[in-house]
Amino acid sequence: MDSGMLATAGAEIYWQAHGAGPAVVLAHGIGGNHAIWYRQLDALSRANRVITFDHRGFGLSRDHDGRGRDAFVDDLAALLDHLGDAKVALVGQSMGAGTCIGFAHRSPERVAALAICDSLHGIVESGEVKAMMDAARAHTATLPQVERVLGAGAGPELAALYRQIASFNAADRHSLTGRFEPRPAADLGGKGFPILFLSGVDDILFPIEAVRLAQAEVAGSFLVEVNDAGHSAFLEAPVQFNDTILSLLQMAGHVGKAGAAHSNAAGYVPVGGAA
């Protein structure tokens, strides 16, 4: 593993790199930081170089000028320039998807593939989508963070670990500054790289019905729905999540030669039966 701290405009950005091969960037959500991806690192770094980082104000990164989300895309561009990665696959969860979408709009030639996970950040909400999202925001506004981001079946140990990881963040959903500049969903299509929407069916922050409508507007994209998972499918259903991302990388031709190309060596557990 390599790691470091990058001094960028108004911030210090902490990063890690695991494995070797074509680069994959994992961009965390508002309750996470680089440590939240512990269930992805082994599977995804077998044939790829996996880059994790802390958005400014999260984990070990520092937001000295207080720009928050306004600077997230600039920070990611500076990090990839620093690391020398000309083309990367982007995997963004919740807030992190807004960062990845903004980068994809700005520099599509640097994107090999884009995974938008449990999120519509950075996408204009219109018509039915806005009505669904307004209802979801009203329903979840006063819920504790763990109830917002983890499905009912996540269990107390995962909830406790989530709280511990989040405790290292200076920013949270109440204090984070800045905003993403949303663009219509249709603007994502036709940029020359595959686009995956991946969402937990039980996500209460970004209802699956809203994600379906937005995804349908993105030409050439596809949607994978994860049953029995909430807003954090990458934590709640890591095997399904990892294998879907690995399939996306193979689709994009953005995978190295070393190691296994799948994570589910033991196989899935079928619904209603044993493995």
Note the pLDDT of residue 256.
85
Give the orientation angle of helix 128-140 with respect to helix 208-216, to 10 degrees: 150
Q: What confidence tens digit (pLDDT) does each residue in 72-84 have? A: 999 999 999 999 9
Residue 260's pLDDT is what?
56
> What's the confidence (pLDDT) of residue 275?
40
What is the count of structural domains for the chain? 1
DSSP designation for 96:
H
pLDDT in tens, 107-125: 999 999 999 999 999 999 9
The residue among 26, 45, 23 whose CA lies nearest residue 34 is 26
> Mean pLDDT, the chain, as a whole number?
93
Instruction: For residue 227, give Cα distances in angstroms to 97, 125, 209, 250.
Output: 20, 24, 14, 23
CATH of the domain at 137: 3.40.50.1820
In a domain, 183, yes or no: yes
* Mean pLDDT, residues 227-232: 95
The per-residue pLDDT for 266 is 54
Q: Write out the DSSP string of 204-255.
A: SSS-HHHHHHHHHTSTT-EEEEETT--S-HHHHSHHHHHHHHHHHHHHTT--
CA dist., res. 241 & res. 247, Å (int)? 10
Pairing of the two strands 88-93 and 23-27: parallel
Residue 273 has pLDDT above 70, yes or no: no
258 in a structural domain? no
In a domain, 74, yes or no: yes
Neighbours of 2 (CB within 10 A): 10
pLDDT value at residue 274: 45
Residue range(s) defining the domain that contains residue 24: 2-251
- In the prediction, which pLDDT does 110 show? 98
> Which residues, including other chains, have CB under 8 Å from residue 140's CB and lie 6 or more apart?
148, 204, 205
Q: 124 in a domain, yes or no? A: yes
pLDDT at 152: 85
In a domain, 274, yes or no: no
Residue 197 · residue 224 · CB < 8 Å: yes
- Could you give the residue ranges of the DSSP H alpha helices within the chain? 41-44, 72-83, 95-106, 128-140, 145-149, 156-166, 208-216, 233-236, 238-251
Residue 258 has pLDDT above 70, yes or no: no
Ranges 11-25, 43-57, 151-165, 196-210: which has the least confidence: 151-165
- Indicate the pLDDT class of residue 244, thresholds 50, 70 and 90: very high
In a domain, 111, yes or no: yes
Q: Residue 162 falls within a domain, yes or no? A: yes
The reported pTM is 0.93
Query: Which of the 8 DSSP states describes residue 101?
Result: H
Asked whether the beta carbons of 201 and 208 are under 8 A apart, the reply is yes
Q: What pLDDT digit, counting tens, does each position of 179-216 carry? A: 999 999 999 999 999 999 999 999 999 999 999 999 99
Q: How many CB atoms lie within 10 A of CB 220?
A: 12
* Alpha carbon distance 50, 32 (integer Å): 17
Q: Average pLDDT for residues 210-231, to the nearest whole number?
A: 96
Give SS3 for 190: coil
Determine the average pLDDT of the residues in 46-56.
Answer: 96
Domain assignment present for 271: no
Q: How far apart are CA 275 and CA 263, in angstroms?
A: 15
